[in-house]
């Protein structure tokens, strides 16, 4: 039986805010699989703000997606035909299989890279949230960049998102003195206080961020985990404690800017407060994945770590769902379900 593979490919490079029109729907007839290959049907696609950077034709830590290429994305799928004993038919797997309904791979080569087996007993989408790029980024960001010190005053931006929400909770679990999250809108702030159990929340869309940071941390912020950059970083710099640490994870406020802003006005505060500022990329920490998965799973199972997924429906809604990240519509990990496991 010849199957048709629906694909969302990059049609044009965005100028400023990403749009649905930057992507185009295409179909291709799938070929038969060869020896050592498997046919995977994607079930869930994951969305990350970094994907905005992957469609710009500029050098980065990963090559840009080419015009006409399937949009790169982490996904979870099911093997539906197999000529490879490592990935039997029916097995749930994860990888960078992209915005398409099917992918053929052999686990070692080809455009879509490696295939990982989903451990038995976990909902498959957890491979994209708790145990996916954002859960792992949160884990390494807290443990490997500026580890929490007992009693730290910790501020997290993007705190109701996939990465930030896990960072804030791990900080609490690792002995921070006080954890405050910054997020957009009262609902997200309520979630932070009541579900993620942080000590405070700042609604950057309705409150004066600088004043609120000073109220929450009269002695200054010891550790700022920044997912947002821009005005929020600028407002935080003067409110850092002496010898404070800043973990730079991302800067979503600037990802859709046509012209890069001039930069933080308060950068001299790094000198004045003797700050240590470190950036990091998840890929550099892959050696520690086993330990990270053990800890994240244990915290989640005990209920100490709450991870939300925002699961949209339908492959036709893929580009629209990507935009939700930049509209602040997602709480927790943004996913889409495009098929059910057999």
Contacts with ligand NAP: how many residues (CB under 6 A)?
A: 30
Q: Which residue is nearest to ligand NAP (CB)?
A: 161
The reply to whether 160 sits near ligand NAP by the rule CB under 6 A is yes
Which x/- pattern over 323-342 shows residues binding ligand NAP (rule: CB under 6 A)?
A: --xx-x-x---x--------
Which x/- pattern over 267-286 shows residues binding ligand NAP (rule: CB under 6 A)?
A: -------------xxx----
CB of 203 to ligand NAP, least distance (A): 9
CB of 108 to ligand NAP, least distance (A): 24
What gap in Å lies between CA 47 and CA 42, rounded to an integer? 14
The reply to whether 163 sits near ligand NAP by the rule CB under 6 A is yes
What gap in Å lies between CA 291 and CA 132, rounded to an integer? 14
Contact 194, 186 (CB under 8 A): no
CB of 333 to ligand NAP, least distance (A): 6
CB of 294 to ligand NAP, least distance (A): 20
CB of 250 to ligand NAP, least distance (A): 2
The reply to whether 50 sits near ligand NAP by the rule CB under 6 A is yes
The reply to whether 228 sits near ligand NAP by the rule CB under 6 A is yes
Residues 183-222 that bind ligand NAP (CB under 6 A): 183-184, 188
The reply to whether 75 sits near ligand NAP by the rule CB under 6 A is no
Q: Which is nearer to ligand NAP, 22 or 330 (CB)?
A: 330
- Among 44-52, 96-104, 213-221, 294-302, the segment contacting ligand NAP (CB under 6 A): 44-52
Which x/- pattern over 128-147 shows residues binding ligand NAP (rule: CB under 6 A)?
A: -----xx--x----------
The reply to whether 107 sits near ligand NAP by the rule CB under 6 A is no
Residue from 42, 129, 169, 253 that binds ligand NAP (CB under 6 A)? Answer: 253
What gap in Å lies between CA 9 and CA 3, rounded to an integer? 18
Per CB under 6 A, residues contacting ligand NAP are: 48-50, 133-134, 137, 158, 160-164, 183-184, 188, 227-228, 249-253, 280-282, 325-326, 328, 330, 334
């Amino acid at each position: 039986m010849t199957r048709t593979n629906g694909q969302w490919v990059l049609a044009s490079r965005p100028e400023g805010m990403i749009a649905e029109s930057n992507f185009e729907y295409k179909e291709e007839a799938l070929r038969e699989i060869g020896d050592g290959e498997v046919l995977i049907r994607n079930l869930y696609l994951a969305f990350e703000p970094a994907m905005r950077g992957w469609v710009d034709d500029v050098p980065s830590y990963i090559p840009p997606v080419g015009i006409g290429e399937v949009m790169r994305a982490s996904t979870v799928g099911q093997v539906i035909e197999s000529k490879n004993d490592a990935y039997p038919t029916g097995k749930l797997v994860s990888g960078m299989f992209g915005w398409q309904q099917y992918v053929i791979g052999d686990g070692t080569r080809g455009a879509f890279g490696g295939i990982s087996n989903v451990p038995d007993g976990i909902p498959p989408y957890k491979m994209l949230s708790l145990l996916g790029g954002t859960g792992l980024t949160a884990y390494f960001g807290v443990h490997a960049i500026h580890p929490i010190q007992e009693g730290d005053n910790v501020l997290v931006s993007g705190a109701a998102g996939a990465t930030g929400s896990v960072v804030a909770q791990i900080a609490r679990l690792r002995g921070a003195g006080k954890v405050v999250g910054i997020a957009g809108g009262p609902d997200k702030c309520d979630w932070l206080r009541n579900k993620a159990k942080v000590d405070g929340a700042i609604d950057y869309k309705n409150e004066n961020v600088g004043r609120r940071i000073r109220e929450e941390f009269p002695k200054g912020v010891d550790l700022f985990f920044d997912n947002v950059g821009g005005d929020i970083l600028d407002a935080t710099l003067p409110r850092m404690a002496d010898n404070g640490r800043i973990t730079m994870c991302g800067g979503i406020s600037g990802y859709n800017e046509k012209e890069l802003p001039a930069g933080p006005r308060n950068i001299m505060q790094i000198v004045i407060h003797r700050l240590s500022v470190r950036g990091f990329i998840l890929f550099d920490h892959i050696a520690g994945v086993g330990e990270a998965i053990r800890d994240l799973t244990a915290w989640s199972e005990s209920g100490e770590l709450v991870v939300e997924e925002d699961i949209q429906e339908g492959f036709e809604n893929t580009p629209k769902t990507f935009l939700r990240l930049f509209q602040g519509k997602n709480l927790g990990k943004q996913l889409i379900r495009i098929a059910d496991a057999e």
